Amino acid sequence: MKLNTFPNPEALAEFVAGTMIEQLRQKPDSVICLASGNSPKLTCAEFTEKAKAEGLDTSRFFFVGLDEWVGLEPGTPGSCANDFQTRLFGPLNMATSQYHLFNGLSDDLRQECFKMDEVIRVKGGIDLMIVGIGMNGHIGFNEPGTSWNNRSHVIKLHETTTSVGQKYFQERKTLDQGITLGFAHLLAAKQVILLADGSAKAEVIKAAIEGAPDEDFPATVMQLHPNGIIAVDAAAESLLTPKNS
Ligand code: F6R
């Protein structure tokens, strides 16, 4: 795993968007997986703008959604599906055949998980995965204590996730369960970038990088990925122990 630091969120977004562009230049039919939430927002804007400006072929890549809140309509502002629609599918005019998302409204969530795992398998695995980090160290909805061997699964969300998660919604939502890709997918992805900006993320970034790999702090899984990058801005980096101390 590598650590890349950037002076500000804009430079961070430019790097991550640039990595997505390069991935598609090299392999236009790449499989790309992205988190929703605040962290990748600037990245998506930068990516769609640059892709359009340079006439990048975005008609052949396949997108996989990292996770979803169980019980939300896909059109709900703040749902993962809605983020993907407004940030990527709409701006890039993507065909519905170009993406697969978890349906958090399904009455058979186990089947949703099988379907997702099968789609990823048939597509040949994930080329580039871009994730955020939660205030309890989660990635996707892989909460503390989740096995690193999991593929897609349904999970009871921790209190931190359900309370912090209210920030995405205009009115209070009942958030109880999530459906998410697992760390078996992350560890098998060819490249993974975890991005974080802002001082609120400084403590969890420190724990992710300086803590021993431990399922109780999910983001430490990044240390096990041979082609993993933790990409942060100066504020998120601020609590790291200086190299020479
Ligand atoms: C969202 C997701 C979550 C977020 C994490 C950070 O799809 O997978 O793990 O990445 O909670 O959220 P933000 O980026 O809003 O701080």
CATH label of the domain that carries residue 15: 3.40.50.1360
* Whole-number pLDDT of residue 244: 72
In a domain, 242, yes or no: no
User: What is the DSSP pairing of strand 153-156 with strand 128-131?
Assistant: unpaired
The parent domain of residue 102 ranges over: 2-237
| pLDDT tens per residue across span 76-120 | 999 999 999 999 999 999 999 999 999 999 999 999 999 999 999
* Whole-number pLDDT of residue 182: 98
In a domain, 245, yes or no: no
Domain count, the chain: 1
**Count of Cβ atoms closer than 10 Å to residue 178 Cβ:** 27
Ligand 1, CB cutoff 6 Å, lining residues? 35-39, 66-67, 80, 132-134, 138-140
| pLDDT tens per residue across span 45-61 | 999 999 999 999 999 99
Does the predicted TM-score (pTM) go above 0.85? yes
Across the chain, what does the average pLDDT equal? 97
Closest CA to 133 of 143, 123, 125, 124: 143
Q: Where are the beta strands (DSSP E) in 37-152?
A: 62-65, 67-69, 99-100, 128-131
- pLDDT confidence bin for 136, thresholds 50/70/90: very high
Cα of 201 from ligand 1 centre, angstroms: 11
Cα of 80 from ligand 1 centre, angstroms: 10
* Whole-number pLDDT of residue 243: 82
DSSP assignment letter at 142: B
In a domain, 158, yes or no: yes
In this predicted structure, the answer to whether residue 38 has a pLDDT above a threshold of 80 is: yes
Contact, 133 vs 194, CB < 8 A?
yes
In a domain, 81, yes or no: yes
* Whole-number pLDDT of residue 245: 61
In a domain, 244, yes or no: no
